[in-house]
Structures are given as C-alpha cells and as structure tokens.
Amino acid sequence: MPMTYGLEAFRGSVLEGSSPIMISPSLWKLTLTGIVYFIIGSISIKKMEKKILEKHFS
C-alpha cells in the first residue's frame, strides 16, 4: 500500500530524525509503486480510448 511507505518515510524523517539514507528503502518502494501504477493507468486509458473510439466512430 503506497500510504504505508509514505508514512514510514515521513515518520522516520520528521519524528525520529532519520537520515535520507535510512528512509531510502521506503522512498524506493513508493517510487516503484508509483511507476507501476502509472504504467497500469496508461495502458488502461489507451484501451478505454480505443474501445470508445471504435464504438462511436466505426
């Protein structure tokens, strides 16, 4: 869950005073999750666009 990684990073940096190196695993997980969601979203939008265009203009 992306919220978990963001909260871990926030908690580590603000509340515990951790260095950026210590919170980097959470940031990497958050970044990777964002990239995966972006790819899935892009593919879904392209499929939906194609479906709508075929339905209305074919």
Residue span of the structural domain in which 19 resides:
2-57
Quickly state the pLDDT bin for 4 (edges 50, 70, 90): confident
pTM of the model as a whole: 0.74
Instruction: State residue 1's pLDDT score.
Output: 63
CA distance 10 to 27: 10
Helix-, strand-, coil-residue percentages of the chain, each rounded to 5 = 90, 0, 10
The number of domains in the chain is 1
Q: What's the pLDDT at 57? A: 85
Q: What is the pLDDT of residue 20?
A: 87
* Residue range 18-49, pLDDT digits in tens: 888 998 998 999 999 999 999 999 999 999 99
1-23 mean pLDDT: 86
